[in-house]
Structure 1
Amino acid sequence: MKIRIEWNYKTPKGLETVFQSEELPIAHALLIAEDLERTKRTKKVVYTDEHDSTWTIKEMKQYLKGLETEPHNITVYFDGGFDVETSSSGLGCVIYYEQSGKSYRLRRNAPSSELISNNEAEYAALYLCLQELELLNVHHLPVKIVGDSQVVINQLNGEWPALESNLSSWADRIDDKLNELGVQPEYKLVPRKSNAEADRLATQALNGVEILATSELKAE
């Protein structure tokens, strides 16, 4: 999450003006906010996040403290596969995150017989990832979303229009879920070889092998 700071500044001779910062990581915003208050020359300090919600310094401190025990520093990998002969799909999801000073990897896949194309399977795989984030109680955090689908990544980041109605519907579902969770996505398009783990999970789902596992990652 990023915070903007707006404050009224008063000089010793009584001149006043208003300053506004750029968007800052909440930890940096907190340090600057505390320093501003120590000057004794600021008043009407307002802290605003990307959703135009206002925060107090106490709330920012509580938020940072909560990050120690809640999932954060999250990267999501997704991939979907579609078998034309069987009209079945496989969805793959990998989530890397940190919690309570440890690093974890969550792997999940799922089959589907309700999709009609590979692009739709890619969207469904990403939606599966967002459902897992919700189960992890991820909220109001930046999340890096990584995939090898040009269609999904470019449509969601606004570079390509979603002209097909079924894909447009999936894009809306993704946006609605992100807004519901307060997640700020950062989309990254990668080559397929850089998305091998999610691709493998999607293929396993197509072959009838379902996986749901979370493992702790040890420092090398």
Structure 2
Amino acid sequence: MNISIEWVYKTPRGTETIFRSEEMTAEKGLLVAEDLERTGRAKSIAFTDSFDSTWTIKELKRYIKEIETEPHNITVYFDGGFDRTTSTAGLGCVIYFEQSGKSYRVRKNAPSEVLKSNNEAEYAALYLSLVELELLNVHHLPVVFIGDSQVVINQMSGEWALLEKDLSNWADRIDEKLKKLGIRPKYELVPRKSNAEADRLATQALNGINITAQLELTADND
């Protein structure tokens, strides 16, 4: 989880002003806040996450301790492809997360013969990522979902209206799964080239290549 710090600075003569930091990881933010406390000049310190939720130092410490051995700092890339000639779809997702001080990547794809359009394939790919998050035991955490589909990103974030029944049904399934897992989603739209890994997985699924893999990321393979 990324946060920003807001603190009230008080001079020895009692003059006060408010400072707000750039965004940083929760762990780094806690270190900075504890250092600010030691100066004796910080009248109050609060944290704000990317979902505009506020945290105290005590709450952030408890959060970091609770999630240390569970998947956290999660980013999901998803993509779907549809072949009109064969009426088949390919779904792909890539999940990056941290757990017990290590970084991991999960890659998953799947074919489908029951979808009717590329937009539906994109929704199905997003749902596939939620199934994988559930298998990882991700729950009650913020998660960033990144895709190159304007339709899915803008509809799921509430920017665009959902008019097509098939897509609306997928959106409902996704919202239900998010609620069940307690996941707070943040949706980000990126250019296709920035979603190449998920796109490649979707294409491989269309070509009959099934992939399910988890890798610990190190300096050698990152």
User: Which TM-score tier does this pair reach, normalised by the shorter chain?
Assistant: 0.7 to 0.9
CA drift of 1:219 comes to: 3.1
1:148 is aligned to 2:148: yes
Compute the TM-score of the two structures, normalised by the length of structure 2.
0.74
**CA RMSD, 1 decimal:** 3.6
2-structure distance, mates of 1:161, 1:219: 43
CA drift of 1:180 comes to: 1.1
The equivalent residue for 1:200 is 200
1:125 is aligned to 2:109: no
1:71 is aligned to 2:71: yes
Give the ranges of 4+ consecutive aligned residues of structure 1 lying more than 2 Å apart after TM superposition.
25-29, 59-64
- Which ranges in structure 1 are unaligned for 5 or more consecutive residues? 3-24, 36-49
1:68-147 to 2 correspondences below 5 Å: 68-147=68-147
Evaluate the alpha carbon distance shift between residue 173 and residue 126 of structure 1 in structure 2; reply closer, same or farther with a 3 A threshold.
same
Evaluate the alpha carbon distance shift between residue 171 and residue 103 of structure 1 in structure 2; reply closer, same or farther with a 3 A threshold.
same
CA drift of 1:140 comes to: 1.1
The equivalent residue for 2:186 is 186
Q: Which amino acid aligns with 1:183?
A: I
Compute the TM-score of the two structures, normalised by the length of structure 1.
0.75
CA drift of 1:176 comes to: 1.1
2-structure distance, mates of 1:150, 1:26: 30
CA drift of 1:68 comes to: 1.1
CA drift of 1:66 comes to: 2.5
Q: Which amino acid aligns with 1:208?
A: G
1:110-166, CA deviations, whole angstroms, 9 ceiling, x for partnerless residues? 000010000000000000000101111111111110000000000001111110001
The equivalent residue for 2:214 is 214
SS in 2 for 1:168: helix
Q: Which amino acid aligns with 2:122?
A: E
1:9-24 to 2 correspondences below 5 Å: none
Over the matched positions of the two proteins, sequence identity in percent amounts to: 70
Q: How many residues align?
A: 198
1-structure distance, mates of 2:189, 2:97: 19
The equivalent residue for 1:45 is none
- Which ranges in structure 2 are unaligned for 5 or more consecutive residues? 3-24, 38-50
1-structure distance, mates of 2:64, 2:139: 13
1-structure distance, mates of 2:61, 2:103: 23
Q: Which amino acid aligns with 1:163?
A: L
The equivalent residue for 2:11 is none
Q: Which amino acid aligns with 2:64?
A: L
SS in 1 for 2:132: helix
SS in 2 for 1:173: helix
